């Protein structure tokens, strides 16, 4: 019941449509002329350890998928992911339907519409507030809605060939998720030192959800378990997972930033990276330096892209046309 709970089937809406609806209900209820809201949505799937954009048709994607990157000002993000600007529940619903149609689904003996990939829907919610003292200030929140792929054992699902390979990739990322949760729980309960590294990089799933798992976030995990006695083992292991996850303590803070400050920080980070690149003053790079430089150059470009994106007016980016009314 994971996809049933998250996405829903037909008239039975899941958590994703219900929360999208709620976002726009609250936006519509706001009458302050000092505030405006911008909502962007992206949708990716993690299939066999590659990240693919669900807003891009399968034929137009590269086989190696998208990279997950991190920057001081931008946090962890998927590089080059399509972000659709939406201004109503209808346009968000249209976007998600389009993405769901591009998803990997295969029948297993246990579920006729079994999810063979993890899906991460990210809603970027910007609250821009006019504030005479500071100019404009902006609160940026990311809501990640995740539908995990099935964790059933291959012997039970009757999987062979490609489906078995998919199953192995799914299990790998789910066990990486389990390890991250264990480590964070051990830190929270003092079972291990707070300084110990958390193995976020062991899978694309944990890397992408790094901030949601152990950072400044509020996180809710829904466990779907089966009442059948034949699923006893899976049910027990799911409950153990949940029990560990409950021990993690996150402290969520509001990311409020004057718009100018955010842009200034991006520019500063960009400038610093650029100077580091130019620092060697024309001398040929040593091999290990070359790799570092390539990485810096990439970051410079990413920041530039983010700044350019910021310059495009929200209304010009809207997906599916303006909302009726
Ligand atoms: N609470 C529920 N009430 C009625 N039907 C449900 C409920 N939960 C799940 N189902 C039905 O059970 C079937 C399997 O559910 P679902 O696809 O959500 O499983 P899943 O956990 O996503 O599986 P997988 O891991 O294989 O993707 C679907 O046909 C769904 O409609
Ligand atoms: Mg599913």
Residue 105 within a domain: yes
CATH number of the domain bearing residue 121:
3.40.850.10
How many Å apart are CA 162 and CA 105, to the nearest integer?
12
How many structural domains is the chain composed of?
A: 3
Residues 6-34 have pLDDT tens digits of 988 878 999 999 999 999 999 999 888 88
Cβ-based neighbour number of residue 59 at 10 Å: 5
Cβ-based neighbour number of residue 282 at 10 Å: 5
- For residue 88, pLDDT beyond 70: yes
Please check whether residues 101 and 9 belong to one and the same domain.
yes
Residue whose CA is closest, atom 11 of ligand 1? 1
- Given 252, 267, 283, the domain boundary residue is 252
- For residue 201, pLDDT beyond 90: yes
Give 130's Cβ-side CA count (13 Å radius).
Answer: 6
Residues 112-126 have pLDDT tens digits of 567 778 999 999 998
pTM over 0.85: no
Q: Packing angle between helix 89-101 and helix 15-29, nearest 10 degrees?
A: 160
Decide which of 282 and 165 is more confident: 165
Cβ-based neighbour number of residue 208 at 10 Å: 23
- For residue 110, pLDDT beyond 60: no
How many Å apart are CA 233 and CA 256, to the nearest integer?
45
Of the listed ligands, the closest to the CA of 166 is 1
Judge if the beta carbon of residue 223 lies within 6 A of ligand 1. Answer: no
Distance 121 CA to ligand 1 centre (A): 19
Domain residue limits at 267? 258-320
Judge if the beta carbon of residue 104 lies within 6 A of ligand 1. Answer: no
How many Å apart are CA 86 and CA 7, to the nearest integer?
18
- Beta-strand (E) ranges in the chain? 8-9, 12-13, 35-47, 50-53, 68-71, 75-78, 84-86, 105-108, 111-115, 118-131, 135-147, 256-258
The preferred substitution site among 2, 4, 147, 235 for testing ligand 1, maximizing ligand atoms within 8 Å of CB, is 4
Q: How far is the first Cα of the chain from the last one, in angstroms, to the nearest whole number? A: 36
pLDDT above 70: percentage of residues in the chain: 83
- Given 252, 278, 303, the domain boundary residue is 252
Q: 246: part of which helix (H) or strand (E)?
A: helix 232-247
Residue whose CA is closest, atom 8 of ligand 1? 1
Please check whether residues 11 and 155 belong to one and the same domain.
no
Q: Which residues of 37-53 are buried (b: 16+ CB within 10 A; e: fewer)?
A: bbbbbbbbbbbbebbbb
Least confident window among 102-106, 113-117, 169-173, 274-278: 102-106
How many Å apart are CA 28 and CA 192, to the nearest integer?
47
| Overall average pLDDT of the 83-91 stretch | 92
């Amino acid at each position: 019941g994971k996809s049933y709970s998250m996405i829903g089937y037909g008239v039975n809406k899941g958590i994703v449509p219900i929360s999208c609806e709620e976002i726009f209900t609250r936006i519509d209820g706001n009458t302050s002329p000092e505030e405006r809201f911008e909502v962007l949505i992206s949708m990716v799937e993690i299939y066999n350890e590659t990240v693919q954009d669900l807003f891009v048709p399968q034929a137009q994607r590269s086989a190696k998928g998208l990279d997950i990157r991190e920057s001081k000002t931008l946090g962890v993000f998927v590089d080059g992911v399509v972000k659709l600007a939406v201004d109503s529940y209808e346009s968000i619903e249209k976007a998600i339907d389009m993405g769901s149609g591009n998803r990997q689904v295969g029948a297993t003996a246990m579920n006729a519409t079994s999810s063979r990939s993890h899906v991460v829907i990210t809603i970027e919610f910007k609250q821009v507030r006019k504030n005479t003292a500071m100019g404009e200030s902006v609160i940026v929140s990311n809501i990640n809605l995740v539908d995990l792929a099935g964790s059933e054992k291959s012997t039970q699902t009757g999987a062979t060939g490609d489906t078995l390979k998919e199953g192995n990739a799914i299990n790998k990322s789910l066990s990486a998720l389990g390890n991250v949760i264990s480590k964070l729980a051990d830190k929270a309960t003092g079972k291990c030192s707070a300084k110990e590294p958390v193995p976020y990089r062991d899978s694309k799933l944990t890397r992408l959800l790094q901030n949601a798992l152990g950072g400044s976030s509020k996180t809710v995990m829904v466990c779907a378990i089966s009442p059948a006695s034949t699923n006893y083992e899976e049910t027990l292991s799911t409950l153990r997972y949940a029990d560990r996850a409950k021990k993690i303590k996150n402290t969520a803070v509001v990311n409020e930033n004057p718009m100018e400050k955010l842009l200034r920080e991006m520019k500063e980070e960009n400038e610093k990276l650029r100077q580091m690149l130019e620092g060697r003053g024309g001398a040929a790079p040593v091999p290990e330096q070359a790799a570092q430089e390539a990485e810096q150059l990439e970051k410079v470009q990413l920041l530039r892209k983010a700044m350019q994106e910021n310059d495009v007016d929200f209304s010009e980016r809207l997906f599916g046309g303006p909302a009726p009314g």
